[in-house]
Structure 1
Amino acid sequence: MTAQGVPLRRRVLVVIVSVTALAVALFLVPLAVAVNLLYHDQTVAALQRDAAWVAAAVPDEPRVPLKLPTGLPGDLAVGGYSVLGTRMFGDGPGHSSLAASSKDGRVHDTVEGGFLAVSAPVPSDEGPALVIRVATPNSEVAERVHEAWLLMGGLALIVIALAAGAAVRQSARLAAPLERLTAAAQALGGGDFSVRASPSGLREADQAGQALESTARRLGDVLARERAFSADVSHQLRTGLTGLLLGLESSLSRLGADLAPAVRAALARGERLQEVIDDLVRLSRDSRMPSEQLDVAALMQELRQEWHGPLAEHGRRLTITVEPALPPVTAQPAAVRQILRVLLDNALRHGQGEVTVTVADVGPGTAVEVSDRGPGLAEGVDPFVRSSGHSHGIGLALARSLAEAEGGRLVLSRTRPPLFSLLLPGDDS
C-alpha cells in the first residue's frame, strides 16, 4: 500500500516560502505607507520653505505691482493671492480655496487642481492682506513614491527567491536522511540486517538511524540465535530418537530374545525424549518470562533418578554432592535441566569412569560442576563450537546458549579430565 500525503521536501518549501512572504508583506505594507508619508512630508516641507522665503521677499502691499524673486525651482507654480483666494499675480488657478484658508495667518497645504500646494501669508502689521501659494505637480511626488515601491517590491522578490533557494536546500537536507531511513527500514523488512545509518548532521535523524541500526543488529542476532537454537534442538531430538531406534533394532535382530526389557528401555527413552521436547517447547515459548527460584535439591534428585540407571549399565557410578546452605538461585528449571542433561549425556557418551556432579556456593551465585575420568579433549578443540567436527559440540553449544539466556555461563574449567562448570546467578531479591 502506497503512503499518501505531501512530500516533506514540498511541505518544507511551501512553509518556508509562505512564512517568508508573509513576513515580507507584514514589513513591506507599513513601510510603503511610511515611504508615501515621508515623501509627501518632505515635499510639503520644501514647499513651505519656499513659500516662506517668497512671502518674506515680497512687500505686504498688494496694490503695488509685484515681481517674484528669482532662484526658485522651475517646476514650481508661485502666485500671489488675496485673503479671499483671488489670484493677483503669478501662476496658479484664478481662485484658490487653499490661499483663502491662510487668512488666519497660518501656513496650509493640500492637493489642489493636481498640484501639491502650500499657502503662506505675507507678514503685515495690520494682518495678512497677501498670501503666497507655491505648488508642484502631485504626479512627480507620486512618481517618486512609485519608484520607491518598485524598489521595495524588487527587494522583496529577491528575499523570497533567496528564501525559496534556502528552503529547497534545507528541505533536501531534512528529507535525505528520512529517505535513507525509509530505504534502510525497507531493507530491514526484506531481511537485510546489515543496514548501517550514515551520519547526516541532524541529531534527531542520526538518533533514529542509530536506533534502526541497533534494532537491525539485535534482530539479526536474535534470528541467528533462533536458527542455531533450532538446529541444536533438532540435533538433540535426533540423538535421542536414534538411540531409541537403535535399541529396538538391536533387540529385534536377536532371534528368540526377550523383547520386554527392550520395550521397557524404549519406553523409558521415549518418556525422556518427551520430557526433552516439553522442556524445549516451554523454553521457546517462555524465553521472555521472568526466571523463578530454582529448587536445586529437587533437581539433583531428579537427575540422580534419570541418569543412575544408564551409567550403571556401563559399570559407572554417579556421585552428586550438594553443599548445605546454598544461596537462592534464579533460573528456569527447564533450562537448567536441559543443560545438565547435555553435560551428563556428554559424560556418558564421551567420558569414562565415575561421573561427579558438585553443587557449590561461589559467592554471587551457585556453580554446578560436572566431571568424569575420561581423557578429555584434544588441545585446541573448542567443545562449544558447532563446526568443530565433534558430535558433542552441537549439544554443548545449545547448553551454553541456554545458560547465557538465563544470565549464567557454561565454561570448560579443565580439559583433562574434563570439568564443565555451570555458573548460575543468585537471587538479588
Structure 2
Amino acid sequence: MTGQGVPLRRRVLVVIVSVIALAVVLFLVPLAVAVSLLFHDQTVAALQRDAAWVAAAVPDEAPAALKLPTGLPGDLAVGGYDVSGFKMFGDGPAFSGLARAGRDGRVHDAVEGDLLAVSAPVPSDEGTGMVIRVATPNTEVEERVHQAWLLMAGLATFVIALAAGVAVHQSARLAAPLERLTAAAQALGGGDFSIRAAPSGLLEADQAGQALESTARRLGAVLSRERAFSADVSHQLRTGLTGLLLGLESALSRPGADLAPAVRAALTRGERLQEVIDDLVRLSRDSHAPAEPLDIDDLMEELRREWHGPLAEQGRRLTIAVQPDLPSTSAQPAAVRQVLRVLLDNALRHGRGEVAVTVSDVGPGLAIEVGDHGPGIAEGTDPFVRSSGDSHGIGLALARSLAEAEGGRLVLSRAGPPLFSLLLPGRHDS
C-alpha cells in the first residue's frame, strides 16, 4: 500500500539476522578452507612418516628378497619404484610420476587417481636408487573434511537461529514502545488528554512518551480553559443582549410612550455590547499578545462615562479615587476593562448604595478595588465557582481567568459589604 513503510519489528529482525548470517559466512568460509587444508596436511604428514619409515627399513639387497616392515595401516598401498618411476615391487600403478619426482632426493606428495600419495627416496651410498611410494584413499580425507563442514554448517545454523530468536525479542522490545506511542498519539488525536506514557526502559522512547504526555496535559488544560472561556463569554453576551431586549420590550408595552429614550438606551447598550464583543474576540485571538503599559487615568475615565448613567438611574453614586504616584503596570487594556465591567455589573445588579472604585499602590504592583454597600457574599460560598443557578458566579469566573491570564489575581477582599480587588503586577523597566 502506498505510503506505508516496513514495520520496525520486521526491519530489526531482517537487519540483525542478515548481519549475523553475513558474519557467520565470512568466518565460516575461511574456516572451512582451513579445515580442509588441515586435514590434508595431517594426512600428508602421516603418509610422510610412514614413507620415511619404510624407506629407512628397506635394505640394499635385491628387491626380490625384500620384505616390507610390519605394523603399517591396512589401507595403505606401499610400493617401491626406481628413479624412472616404474614399479619394482609392492602395490601401486606400474608407473608413478610422483615416484619419478622423488629421484631428486626429496619427499613429494600428490593425488594420483583416487589416492593421496607420498614418495620418499631410499638413502644409499650411491645416491637415490629407489623411491618408496605410500598412498591412501583420498575419499577418506574428503569424508573427514565433509563431516567437519557438516558440523560447522550445523553450528552456523544454530547460531543464526539463536540470533533470529534474539532479534525477535529485541525487535519486539524496540517496537512495543513506539506502538504504544502511536496508540497514545491516536488517542490524543481523538480527544483523550488523559494518556500516560508507561516506562519502557529505552531512553529515547521514554523521552518521547514523556513529551507526548506533557503535550496532552497542556492541550487538555488549554482546551478546558477555552471551553470555560467560551461559556463565560456566552453568558456575558446573553446578559447584555437580554438587558437590551428587555428595555425595548418595556418601552413597547407602554401605550403612547415616547420611544426615543428607549431607542437611545438600546443604542447605548448595543454600543456597549459591541465593545464587549470586540474586547472578547480580541482576547480570544491574542491570548499570547504582549502586554502594554496600562493608562489608569484613561481607564477610570472610560469607566466613569460607561457606568455613571446606569447607576444614576437607580439613584446610586459612582465614586472613583486614584492614588497619586502609582507604580507602572503592563496588561492588555481589553482584559482589565472586561474584569472591571464584570465587577461593576455585579455591583449594579446585586449591590446597593454607592459603588466605589479605588486604585492604590500595593508595593510591587497596584490594586483596583470595587465595592458597594450590598449584602455581599454568603458565608461559605465561593463567588468564583461557576453555577448554573448563579449568574454572577459565571461572570466572576470569567473575570478571574482574565486576571490570571494577565499575571494578576482577582480576590474577594471582603464578603460583606462586598469588596473585590484586582491585583496587577508592576512593570519592570529595563
Deviates more, 1:153-162 or 1:304-313: 304-313
Give the Cα–Cα distance (whole angstroms) in 2 for the partners of residues 80 and 365 of structure 1.
121
SS of alignment partner, residue 16 of structure 2: helix
The verdict on how the C-alpha distance between 1:314 and 1:60 changes in structure 2, with shifts beyond 3 A counting, is farther
Deviates more, 1:63-72 or 1:373-382: 63-72
Give the Cα–Cα distance (whole angstroms) in 2 for the partners of residues 276 and 194 of structure 1.
35
The one-letter amino acid paired with 2:291 is S
Corresponding residue for residue 181 of structure 2? 181
Deviates more, 1:27-36 or 1:170-179: 170-179
SS of alignment partner, residue 73 of structure 2: coil
Deviates more, 1:285-294 or 1:96-105: 285-294
Unaligned residue ranges in structure 2 (runs of 5+): none
Deviation readout 1:93-138 (Å, 9 max, x if unpaired): 2221112212222211111222111112222333222222221111
Alignment of 1:113-124 (within 5 A): 113-124=113-124
Alignment of 1:32-71 (within 5 A): 32-61=32-61, 63=63, 65-71=65-71
The one-letter amino acid paired with 1:58 is V
Corresponding residue for residue 327 of structure 1? 327
SS of alignment partner, residue 149 of structure 1: helix
State the 1:63 CA deviation.
4.9
Deviates more, 1:328-337 or 1:58-67: 58-67
The verdict on how the C-alpha distance between 1:53 and 1:323 changes in structure 2, with shifts beyond 3 A counting, is farther
SS of alignment partner, residue 375 of structure 1: coil
The reply on whether 1:395 has 2:395 as its aligned counterpart is yes
Q: Percent same amino acid among aligned pairs?
A: 83
State the 1:269 CA deviation.
1.2
Deviation readout 1:241-275 (Å, 9 max, x if unpaired): 11122222333333444333322222211111110
Alignment of 1:164-203 (within 5 A): 164-203=164-203
Alignment of 1:110-149 (within 5 A): 110-149=110-149
State the 1:233 CA deviation.
0.8
Corresponding residue for residue 97 of structure 1? 97
- CA RMSD in angstroms, aligned pairs only: 2.2
SS of alignment partner, residue 65 of structure 2: coil
Give the Cα–Cα distance (whole angstroms) in 1 for the partners of residues 415 and 388 of structure 2.
16
Give the Cα–Cα distance (whole angstroms) in 1 for the partners of residues 331 and 377 of structure 2.
29
Corresponding residue for residue 156 of structure 1? 156
Give the conservation status (yes or no) of the 8 Å contact 1:9–1:175.
Answer: yes
Deviation readout 1:374-413 (Å, 9 max, x if unpaired): 2221111111111273221000111111122223222222
Aligned residues: 429
Give the conservation status (yes or no) of the 8 Å contact 2:63–2:89.
Answer: no
After TM superposition, the runs of 4+ consecutive aligned structure 1 residues lying more than 4 A away are 60-64
Deviates more, 1:232-241 or 1:317-326: 317-326
Give the Cα–Cα distance (whole angstroms) in 2 for the partners of residues 366 and 105 of structure 1.
118
Give the conservation status (yes or no) of the 8 Å contact 2:110–2:117.
Answer: yes
The one-letter amino acid paired with 2:241 is L
Give the Cα–Cα distance (whole angstroms) in 2 for the partners of residues 66 and 323 of structure 1.
140
The verdict on how the C-alpha distance between 1:362 and 1:34 changes in structure 2, with shifts beyond 3 A counting, is farther
The one-letter amino acid paired with 1:213 is E
Corresponding residue for residue 250 of structure 1? 250
Give the Cα–Cα distance (whole angstroms) in 2 for the partners of residues 293 and 78 of structure 1.
116
The one-letter amino acid paired with 1:187 is A
Give the conservation status (yes or no) of the 8 Å contact 2:85–2:96.
Answer: yes
Give the conservation status (yes or no) of the 8 Å contact 1:60–1:122.
Answer: no
SS of alignment partner, residue 102 of structure 2: helix
Give the conservation status (yes or no) of the 8 Å contact 1:62–1:130.
Answer: no
Unaligned residue ranges in structure 1 (runs of 5+): none
Give the Cα–Cα distance (whole angstroms) in 2 for the partners of residues 129 and 2 of structure 1.
83
State the 1:321 CA deviation.
2.9
TM (norm. structure 1) is 0.93
The one-letter amino acid paired with 1:13 is L
